[in-house]
Structure 1
């Protein structure tokens, strides 16, 4: 079909891209492996940053300064300026389409202060901000008649060549419902598949679906990735489940205390600093707690209802009266698919947006409240860029044989000798990553984990699926996710080994200081060549 755009992923970034591609005149299909309302965007609780006129002491310039400071020298100034200058318009657009933001007594959009911010800048909807944005975007897509194909698992991005330069021509997916491979042709594709922090397995705040499928598939297709070593640990995940407790709880005045009841850090410092401070307390043998009791029952009920519910459900405590036991957990991945100022990858017609992409606005450490903003601002850009490219598309494509290729790959996996349980390997890898590729790292440990990853990759032929059926074969899907995560684990490790310094979320105990030599982005090509580029 002429002038068609495929969006892979139906979280906030994908739905914004779909709406804007549709508005630009393209025929849009959204493909998602679950359902839009289950996407990771729904877990973003704290708010979306924008320097509105509500707060006199705030400005776009201060928003830029906070973002650059948090990025530790690795953000692109032009991209950050674009992000922050676009923020007020982005929030006003969300307000205009029906996002139910909390309000002040003057009926202005309510804002709260998050870590690393000079002012109360995060526009919020109680502590359900991402969820309410997501549901509103989904409603808009349905109202516009945008086609959404649920329960399709991404296999590969299909590319063709024009004078030896690759361009995207479609995608292959596995229909989870009937187990059949499906091929979709399009003139341009937007990748909006989310991040990869689930490589930490049970030590992540993210959904089990955050397996980095889009990044791995784009990398195999020839896209470059960058800054894969930068993984943000959220300071306050529930101790026993890694369920996120929003930064809004600290923004409202919550304290961090140790076993002795002592406050030991600035609760509103950037996330990398707070996470390391909590980790140090735990290594000393102390438990760490979030204390919001002093905020009062009425405030907690009205402003932090989700946090109270999660604490009761997963820790069996009532935060109105009890301390909340917490630990840091992998939360957000700053690295991803390398994109330019138009959200385009190095493959013609392939665009990326959201957590799977690297727009170079987060650098070494994302500022809280900027992730929701990024998906609105760059989602609009990606959708418009993809639609423009599709409209002007004039290349010849050949999709013949693509279904046979994908069918054969699935058949081979089902024939693997199931001698090694990949679920056990996945758990082991999560443990290794949390201990040695987490908040603190060193060369020897990183190399040892890389050796283990390489060994597991070599043993993949000995791992397989016990379920050979076609319909709703979750065993097969989870194996495919595991393969993608292994690919990303290797990229994370070679990037972390290459960066011999400490910067933001990447802390090397054997190189504890910033080194100006590494004030550039770590870029990895398909050939596993690591380079540093500004």
Structure 2
């Protein structure tokens, strides 16, 4: 039995693993893919920390900006902790070897780390490594985990959590390579499996696999989710591929123009405001473009080399000389697993959740740009510390094989299941349904229609088997399991959006355009009713 099982090998999971290992725990990190392919690698713009290296800034300002962006749906104590930890986290990452971009200011250490402005911030606060910030952090964390001798188990797909009398005992996984269902016993579990942006399949910056697998597993195990209606749409994704063009492009001075060449919004306002402004341009029959031509090739290649290459490769335009066609797409899920102030899952002792899968009540109705990388490292460390504390007093008696046998039977059933409906087509339909009817601007009648469509898909799931009967390396099976989890989470998003008859941050509803603090300055918490299944 391992002391701490970390499920998910992105920035949050690696931060937790490294911290727990340094505390003296035995740690195993399990992921369905490989650490360097996690969603963290797609975070480009930067990590917030009130260093004040470029202009005057204070932790109090960072806290105030975060609370303002959250529109009152946050735990101020958790926000204070994250923001106050910012400078120490940057110092920790620098000591680990993250190659932050530097200022030529004659200083050393974190005093020389370059910072840029991001949406909703009152100062240039985001520390960055060109436009590869998440990638550089991820690789550095992984290198240090390997140096510490942390064990990794790749290509293992999470099936379910194992609990006994409300306490975590481990989890079951499908070994993708062998096709075997396995059980891993653990004293503490840290879930760091990422968000559920792939519900918007085809209309998201997220990878196909961001289907909320860890969140779905927590629901099945008796935990709760909260704030699922708050989905952040990033204003600038490439029009045809939905690939992210970082907020850094606007933070460095990029403009947003409509078809008439007019600027129509302050580009560094919070993401919900900018995304809705673009949506309004679309409704008026306009196209929208990102314009960075005035920044010049030298500056673009120094600060935004990845963005330039993405535009050339995937949109066929050269941003040095041409306008870049863009659209807003689903980017980040503010809600997720409901946790307490030590990141322990409400309802499951010894199980902790961190990163985008977790609702630590810091992002609220609208995440501040630059806060996600801070959350995964600051709270990743915090989750590792708390998981270690639980493990030191937890019983080492493993659970029986009940869950293991259930999951083996479930996988066998999928192989023999009817396959008269192509679930890939249904996945595409779900993505478009969510983008059109559970998107940037919402209406109750469209939400009700979307819920009906999702329930219809759930009923039809028994006719959506798999065609590939291979027992090893069966990607068809993995994608079916991912789609099943997406269908489980879809009603929680829609139901929460229907219940919130107001507009707050990323949740904007026609007919209810104002915030209603009297009725809705609270979290909507949902739990799976097993008896109804």
Task: Determine the C-alpha separation between the residues in 1 that align with 2:530 and 2:83.
Answer: 34
Is 1:233 the counterpart of 2:237? The answer is: no
What's the CA shift for 1:188?
A: 0.8
State the TM-score, normalizing by the size of structure 1. 0.97
**Equivalent residue for 1:262?**
262
Contact 2:187 2:395 in 1 (8 A): no
Instruction: Encode CA deviations 1:476-503: one digit per residue, 9 max, x unaligned.
Output: 0000000000011011011111111100
Corresponding position of 1:131:
135
User: 1:523 aligns to what?
Assistant: 525
For 1:337, the equivalent position in structure 2 comes to 337
Q: Separation in 2 of the partners of 1:411 and 1:328? A: 40
CA distance in 1, matches of 2:312, 2:52: 37
Q: Is the 8 A contact 2:344 2:351 kept in 1?
A: yes
| Other-structure match for 1:301 | 301
Report the alpha carbon displacement of residue 404 of structure 1 after superposing the two structures with TM. Answer: 2.1
User: In the comparison of the two structures, how many residue pairs are matched?
Assistant: 524
Q: Which residue of 2 aligns with 1:39?
A: 38
Question: What is the TM-score of this pair, normalised by structure 2?
Answer: 0.97
- In the alignment, the residues of structure 2 paired with residue 55 and residue 257 of structure 1 have an alpha-carbon distance, to the nearest angstrom, of 28
Distance 1:215 1:405 in 2: 19
Residue in 2 that maps onto 1:532: none
CA displacement at 1:405 relative to structure 2 = 1.7
Q: Distance in 2 between matches of 1:91 and 1:509?
A: 41
Moved over 6 A (4+): none
Q: CA offsets, 1:273-308, max 9 Å, x none?
A: 000000110111111000000000000011100000
Which residue is equivalent to 1:477?
Answer: 478
Q: Does 1:223 align with 2:223?
A: yes
Offset at 1:418? 0.4
Q: Distance in 2 between matches of 1:528 and 1:480?
A: 19
CA distance in 1, matches of 2:400, 2:173: 14
Give me the whole-angstrom Cα distance separating, in 1, the residues matched to 2:209 and 2:370: 22
Structure 2 distance, partners of 1:253, 1:123, is 17
- In structure 2, the partner of 1:453 is 454
Equivalent residue, structure 2, for 1:117:
121
Post-superposition shift, 1:42? 0.3
Please point out which of 128, 139, 163 is paired with 1:159.
Answer: 163
Distance 1:54 1:403 in 2: 53
Counterpart of 1:140 (choices 117, 125, 144) is 144
User: Distance in 1 between the 2:378 and 2:530 partners?
Assistant: 31
> Are residues 1:274 and 2:274 paired?
yes
Question: SS in structure 1 opposite 2:201?
Answer: helix
Number of the residue aligned with 1:174: 174
Listed one character per residue, the Cα deviations across residues 59-88 of structure 1 (whole Å, up to 9, x for unaligned) are 101101110110011111111111111100
Cα separation, 2, equivalents of 1:491 and 1:53 = 40
Residue aligned with 1:202, SS: coil
Q: Offset of 1:55 from its aligned partner? A: 3.8
Distance 1:375 1:430 in 2: 26
| Partner Cα distance (1:178, 1:348) in 2 | 31
CA contact (8 A) 1:160 1:397 kept: no
Q: CA–CA distance in 2 between the matches of 1:56 and 1:187?
A: 46
Unaligned runs of 5+ in 1: 530-534
Query: How far did residue 528 of structure 1 move?
Result: 8.9
- 2:187 counterpart of 1:187: yes
Q: Which runs of 5+ in 2 are unaligned?
A: none
Aligned to 1:362: 363
CA contact (8 A) 2:447 2:498 kept: yes
Alpha-carbon distance in 2 for matches of 1:224, 1:400: 24
Distance in 2 (CA, whole Å) between partners of 1:397 and 1:494 is 37
